[in-house]
Chains A and B, each alone.
Chain A
Amino acid sequence: MIPLVCPAPIATRDTILLGHGSGGKLSAELLRDVFLPAFTNPVLAKLEDQASFEIGGARLAFTTDSFVVKPLFFRGGDIGSLAVHGTINDLAVGGAIPEFLSAAFILEEGFPMADLRRIADSMAAAAAKAGVTIVTGDTKVVERGSGDGVYINTAGIGLLREGVRLSAGIAQPGDAVILSGSIGDHGIAILSEREGLELESDIASDSAALNTLVDAMFATAGTNAIRAMRDPTRGGVASTLNEIAEQSAVGIEIDEGAIVIHSAVRGACELLGLDPLYVANEGKLVAIVARESADAIVDAMRRHPLGADAAVVGRVTGDHAGMVTMRTLFGTSRIVDMLAGDQLPRIC
C-alpha cells in the first residue's frame, strides 16, 4: 500500500550555523576542518581548554574565551562576572593557578554607560574575589545594529603547579569520575530569563570561580591522582564527558542516581523537553581521578562551599571506547551521546 520514501541528505555546510557555536559535534567539525589545519602546532594539538607551555623555565597555562550571553544581567551573575569566572575556570581545570586576565570589549553604539559601569564593577569584584588581576584590555565600538550591546573577550594566564600534567587524553579504565555539584543551573537560569520564554522560576546561575576548589583538591590529592579536569559549560556534562572519552579512547559510565539536579532545573527541563546533562554550567567541574584517591578528593571538595554536593558519579571503563553510557535508575544502560548542535525544545 505504501511506497518507500525519504528525503535526500543535506551534507554540505557552506555557511556558519548557530550550532557551530554549541560545543557539540558541529563545533568539533569547525575545529577539525578549519582551525586545526590552519594553526597546526603541538601545543594546540592537545585540544585542552587551555594551552600549556614553558617560558624561561616557568610552566604556564594560557586561555581565552568570548562571552555573548543574552540577557546581559541574569539571576546569579552577569556577562562581566561570567567572563571573569569562565577564563579563571579554564585555567584552574588545567591545574594552573590563575594570575592575570585581559578584558576586551566590543561595544555597540548607543549602549548605556550605566550598564557598562555595572559590568566593569562586576568584573572587578569577581576578579578580586578569585585573587586574579585584570592587567590589560581593549575597547572597540561598532555601529548600532552590528553588535548586541556588549561582547566581552577575556584571556588569562596562570602558573602550572609543579609536576602537574592534566590531560583529557590520559583517563584510564578504573578511574573515578567526580562531579562537583548540581547540573544545569546556569543554562536554565539564562533560558528562563530570555526574552519570550516567560518561564517563572527561582533558578540562579551557578557562575563562580573554581580556582580555590581546585586548590583544595590538589592539597589533598598530590600531583598524580588527578588525571583530567574540565568545566562542563556549553554542551553540559554530557559533551565534556564525551570529549574525555574520545580523547582518552576509553568508555565512561555514569550513574543516573548519583547526579544532582535541582528540582527547579528538573522541572524546567521537563517542561521544555531538555536533558539537563546537556545544559550549560558555569561553576562546576568534572574530574577524572585515580580510584584510590577519589573518596579523599570528594571529601576535600565537600568541605569547600562550591563542592558541597561533590560526588563520584561514574567510572572510566575499557568498554565502548569513545562513548559515554549511563546506568539508569532501572538498572538498564543507555548512551549519553554528543549532540550535533544545540538542544532543541520538542514540539510536545
Chain B
Amino acid sequence: MKYIDEYRDAAVAKGIAQAVRARVTRPWVLMEICGGQTHTIMRYGLDEMLPPEIELVHGPGCPVCVAPLEIIDKALDIAARPGVIFVSYGDMLRVPGSHSDLFRVKAAGGDVRVAYSPMDAVKLARENPSRQVVFFGIGFETTAPANAMSVWQAKREGLKNFSLLAAHVLVPPAMRALLASPANRVQGLIAPGHVCTVMGTREYEDLSRDFHLPIVIGGFEPVDLLEAVRMLVAQLEEGRAEVENQYVRSVSREGNLGAKRILVQVYEVSDRKWRGIGPIPMSGYKLRPEFAEYDAELIYGTGEITAHEPEECISALVLQGLKKPLDCAAFGTLCTPERPLGAPMVSSEGVCAAYYAYRRHNEATKEAVR
C-alpha cells in the first residue's frame, strides 16, 4: 500500500534507530503529543528500538480521553431523549460519563448511531425531517473543520433539525500550559502531523521560540516517528531549537487554507475544560453566535449539567508526561479498558489503553519503559 508500506519498512526503521544510537551522547526526554503516535510507538515497540538515553513521554493528544466528563453527561442526556437521533464517532460510545455511557443509553432505547463523517449526520437530518439529529463533534483541530462544515452545510440548506454538540480542543494552548509548568521535563516535541495538516506549522514556531524547544512535526507510521526522533536528537545535540517538518508529504507551513477558513467562519476560540487536566484558557472552539440555532447545548439546555470528577487516578500526571501508566497502582487491576478509572484508559487511543493493549506482558519491558 503506497504511503504505508514504505513507512513500515523494518530495515529502514532499524537504520534510523541505529543513526539515533550513533548520534546521542546524553539523556533526552521527548514527548509525542498525539494519541495515534503513542499507539504506533507501543504497537511497534519503537521505544525498545531506541537507545536508553531517549525517554519517550506521552502527551495529552487523545481527543476522546480529554473530552470532559460534563460533555459526556450532556451527550448522554441528549441521546436519551425521545425523537433524537444521536450520532457519534464510534470510539465515544464506550466512554463512561458519570453514571452511564452511550452503549447503555442505546440499550435503554436511545437512538444512538455511529458515523464516520459528520456529513452523514447532516444526511440523516435531511432524510428524517420529523426527528432531531445531533452530532457529537469532539476532537482536535483535525476533526474540527469537518464538524464545522456540517453546521455550515445545515445552515445553507436551512435544516431545522440538525445540531452539533461541540467540544473541540486545541493543541498549542495545552502544550503551552504543560511546558510552562515547573514540573515540565520535556526537552523536545513531536508535534501532531494531522493537526498540522489542517493548521500549518506557524503556531509551533511560536512555541519553539517561546520555550526554546526543538519541535519536529511528525507522522504516524513507525518510520515517521523514528525519523522525527532522529531529527529532534540532532537538534538537541547541536543546541538548536527550531521547527522542522518530518511529515512533508502531508503538512505545509500554511496548512489547509480551506479548512482554516471554515473554522473561522463557524467557530470562535473559547476556554475549555480538559478531562484529566482541568480548565485551560482559550484552548477550544465553540460555535459562533450566528450559528446558535445549531448549538445542541443551547437547544437542549444542557448548560446546567456539571460533573464531579473524583480524584482517584494519576491521569493528570500521565497526560502531562510526568508519570507513565505503569507507575499507577490501579493500572491493569482496578483500571482496565472495560472499567476505566481515568481519561487515558477510556479510549483505545489513550496512553494507558496503549500500554494495557500492548505492554503488560513482560516485566523486562515494564522496567525498560520506566
Chain A residues within CB distance 8 Å of chain B: 1-11, 15-19, 25-26, 196-197, 263, 266-267, 270, 272-273, 320, 323, 325, 328-335, 337, 340-341, 344-348
Contact = CB atoms under 8 A, between A and B. Distances in A.
Given A3-B278, A345-B89, A332 B49 contact: yes
5 contacts: A4-B311, A10-B96, A334-B45, A334-B359, A348-B36
A184 to B, nearest CB: 14
B312 interface: yes
A7 B140 CA distance: 21
B3 to A, nearest CB: 10
A37 to B, nearest CB: 21
Contacts of A337: 356-357
Nearest to B195: A348
Contact of B312 (A1, A2, A6, A332): A6
B93 A344 contact: yes
A32 to B, nearest CB: 14
Contacts of A346: 89-91, 347-349
Best-surrounded residue of B14, B90, B316 (most CB of chain A within 10 A): B90
A17 B342 contact: no
A14 B307 CA distance: 23
B276 interface: yes
B72 to A, nearest CB: 8
Contacts of A323: 361
Interface of B: 1, 4, 8, 10, 13-14, 36, 42-46, 48-49, 63-64, 69, 89-94, 96-101, 103-104, 106-108, 113-116, 120, 138-140, 142-143, 177, 181, 194, 222, 275-278, 307, 309-317, 320, 334-335, 337-343, 346-349, 356-362, 365
B138 A18 contact: no
A347 B143 CA distance: 8
Given A6-B311, A329-B8, 11 more contacts: A2-B278, A5-B276, A6-B309, A17-B103, A331-B49, A335-B361, A344-B94, A346-B349, A347-B63, A347-B90, A347-B139
A129 to B, nearest CB: 34
Contacts of A5: 275-278, 309-311, 315-316
A19 B359 CA distance: 24
A329 B341 CA distance: 33
